[in-house]
Amino acid sequence: MPDSQDAPPVVAGCANCLIVDDEPSVRRSLVRMLQTQGFHCFEAGSGSEALGVLDRIGEAPLVISDMRMPELDGIGLLEAVRQRYPDTSVIMLTGMGETTTAVDCLHMGAADFLLKPISVSELQARVSRVLEKRALVLQNRYYQQNLERQVHEQAQRIQELFLQGVQMLARALEAKDAYTRGHSIRVSQYAVGTARQLGFQGARLDGIRLGGELHDIGKIGTREAVLHKPGTLTADEFRQISEHPALGEQMLSPLAQESPDVLRIVRSHHERLDGGGFPDGLCGENIPIEARIVAVADAFDAMTTERPYRASRAPEDAVNELRRVAGTQLDPAAVEAFVDAFPDPAELPVSA
Ligand SMILES: [Fe+2]
């Protein structure tokens, strides 16, 4: 529950009240009655004058208005107040012959109506009831909004804790393996530089950063003997390793709502532009752009670090290779953005 210091505003005795009637004597008597209840009263002789007063004083919790008035009448005023000041309660004053219209006013959003001549006790009872109802509506809305905010904050916190756990797991796994140590962080850095070059910013850039860091998280489910095999993979071993993008996406599914781009990266970073990649065999622009960016970063880092099955390549050679496979395997725009972002490959943080 919210702190009591955050409690919604409650109408106090000194609240503003606007009395609207073209008869000055009726206004005066209402003002006297309401002042004894502690209200600070304003007066207006017509609907349009009343709107002018409300514009000047801001919202008033309570408007008491006659029905028949020159210029803007009570119904016109009620409509305008409901539209401009939805939290203001309007009580209509009616004569004996106007009860049907008064009922219509209730349908139009009036809080209540009072029959003339008005007695002090009747006025006090109706005003108290109307303001009590208004306070309940405001409190209800406040608690609802506050609850939604708290639920949202807790969901975010749960997601943060989940992410921290996954990031720690990814780093712990990498730390055990000399060949892939630092790979995720470097891929993330390359991908962010490339994405920035392509105009990504804000939350989309954050998605690339995180997606780059977690892109291979699904390898947790791949046997180490397969991951670190020095020679060529058998068809079955290749099938096992090909499962890591889908497995990673499944693991990170709690991020689906807040960070769908991260899931797209994890699932599609091994797709190829010519459709020969996995797991979905997507072609060209059907591959999410975030995944195409990470694929370039991943390919560069894989080539410039030593693997069990081959030695590392010089950064310049790796850039040439990226350009050679641009258009078939990698997105040419992403490759060029990578080259523009890191114009001197020799200075890249390879094999950190
Ligand atoms: Fe991968």
If asked whether residues 188 and 330 sit together in one domain, one would say yes
> What is the pLDDT, as a whole number, of residue 5?
41
Beta carbons of 47 and 71 less than 8 angstroms apart: yes
> What is the pLDDT, as a whole number, of residue 159?
83
Mean pLDDT of 319-332: 97
If asked whether residues 184 and 331 sit together in one domain, one would say yes
User: How many angstroms separate the Cα of 6 from the Cα of each of 2, 135, 142, 153?
Assistant: 7, 15, 10, 17
Average of per-residue pLDDT values in the chain: 88
- C-alpha of residue 197 to centroid of ligand 1, in Å: 23
Task: Answer whether residue 154 is part of any domain.
Answer: no
Rounded Cα–Cα distance for residues 15 and 79 (Å):
22
> What is the pLDDT, as a whole number, of residue 102?
75
DSSP one-letter string for 226-266: HHT-SSPPPHHHHHHHHTHHHHHHHHTGGGTTT-HHHHHHH
Mean pLDDT of 72-88: 93
Query: 303 versus 347: which is more confidently predicted?
Result: 303
343 upstream amide cis, omega within 30 of 0: no
Task: Answer whether residue 23 is part of any domain.
Answer: yes
If asked whether residues 143 and 184 sit together in one domain, one would say no
If asked whether residues 65 and 142 sit together in one domain, one would say yes
Number of compact structural domains in the chain: 2
- C-alpha of residue 176 to centroid of ligand 1, in Å: 17
User: How many angstroms separate the Cα of 237 from the Cα of each of 35, 234, 284, 308?
Assistant: 87, 5, 27, 15
Task: Answer whether residue 110 is part of any domain.
Answer: yes
Beta carbons of 246 and 257 less than 8 angstroms apart: no
Percent of the chain with pLDDT over 70: 92
Burial-class residue 81 by CB neighbours within 10 Å (0-12, 13-18, 19+).
buried
> What is the pLDDT, as a whole number, of residue 19?
95
**pLDDT of 118 higher than 90:** no
- The pLDDT confidence band at residue 347, using thresholds 50, 70 and 90, is low
| H helix runs in the chain, sequence order | 24-36, 47-57, 74-84, 99-107, 120-175, 183-197, 202-214, 224-227, 235-242, 244-251, 260-268, 289-304, 315-325, 332-341
**pLDDT of 2 higher than 90:** no
CATH number at residue 32: 3.40.50.2300
**pLDDT of 90 higher than 70:** yes
Q: What is the pLDDT of residues 196-228, one digit of tens each?
A: 999 999 999 999 999 999 999 998 888 888 887
Query: 277 versus 230: which is more confidently predicted?
Result: 277
Mean pLDDT of 260-270: 96
If asked whether residues 340 and 207 sit together in one domain, one would say yes
> What is the pLDDT, as a whole number, of residue 20?
95
Instruction: Tell me the two tokens of residue 216.
Output: 């291979």
**pLDDT of 6 higher than 60:** no
- C-alpha of residue 265 to centroid of ligand 1, in Å: 10
Instruction: Tell me the two tokens of residue 114.
Output: 């009072």
0.85 exceeded by the pTM? Answer: no
If asked whether residues 219 and 338 sit together in one domain, one would say yes
- C-alpha of residue 213 to centroid of ligand 1, in Å: 11
Strand partners, 247: none
Instruction: Tell me the two tokens of residue 335.
Output: 């490759």
Which is the catalytic residue, given 116, 133, 176, 219? 219
Beta carbons of 22 and 43 less than 8 angstroms apart: no
Our answer to whether residue 116 is catalytic in this structure is no
Q: Which domain holds residue 66?
A: 13-147
**pLDDT of 14 higher than 80:** no
CATH number at residue 322: 1.10.3210.10
If asked whether residues 77 and 140 sit together in one domain, one would say yes
> What is the pLDDT, as a whole number, of residue 296?
98
- C-alpha of residue 202 to centroid of ligand 1, in Å: 25
> What is the pLDDT, as a whole number, of residue 71?
83
If asked whether residues 103 and 244 sit together in one domain, one would say no
Task: Answer whether residue 118 is part of any domain.
Answer: yes
If asked whether residues 235 and 91 sit together in one domain, one would say no
Burial-class residue 202 by CB neighbours within 10 Å (0-12, 13-18, 19+).
exposed
Query: 24 versus 255: which is more confidently predicted?
Result: 24
- C-alpha of residue 221 to centroid of ligand 1, in Å: 12
> What is the pLDDT, as a whole number, of residue 130?
92
If asked whether residues 92 and 229 sit together in one domain, one would say no
Look at residues 147, 165, 188 and tell me which one is the last residue of a structural domain. Answer: 147
Q: What is the pLDDT of residues 134-192, one digit of tens each?
A: 999 999 998 888 998 888 888 888 888 888 888 888 887 777 676 677 889 999 999 99
Task: Answer whether residue 162 is part of any domain.
Answer: no
- Length of the chain equals 352
